[in-house]
Amino acid sequence: MPIQTEAYVVHEAHGPFELEQVQYQDVGEHELLVEPVAVSLCHTDVLASGGSFMMTPPMIPGHESSGIGESTGALFFFETSRRDS
Ligand SMILES: [Zn+2]
């Protein structure tokens, strides 16, 4: 079942960080779904949003986060409802 949430999205290099509704596919068998508690942006996100460092837009920045594991795929072992960072 697809998952709907809000995220800041950068659509093009040097474009604005826009708050939008986004949709993910269900958790893959090797994935963990995390409900974020806090997310920070660092210089890596800013550089990447410019399109010349590690990845290029479109992207959802914020690779430094903390949250609670909600569910896992069949091949991912993690104790859900555990706070982790
Ligand atoms: Zn960073």
The ranges assigned to domains in the chain are: 3-84
Question: Could you read off the pLDDT of 1-30 as tens digits, one per residue?
Answer: 788 989 999 999 999 999 999 998 888 899
Question: Could you read off the pLDDT of 48-85 as tens digits, one per residue?
Answer: 999 988 888 999 998 898 988 888 888 877 777 666 55
Question: Could you read off the pLDDT of 28-49 as tens digits, one per residue?
Answer: 899 988 888 999 999 999 999 9
Topology (CATH level 3) of domain 3-84:
Quinone Oxidoreductase; Chain A, domain 1 (3.90.180)
Given the structure tokens 């460092």, which residue do they identify? 53
**How far apart are the CA of 63 and the centre of ligand 1, in A?**
6
**How far apart are the CA of 80 and the centre of ligand 1, in A?**
25
**How far apart are the CA of 47 and the centre of ligand 1, in A?**
10
pTM of the predicted structure, to 2 decimals: 0.73
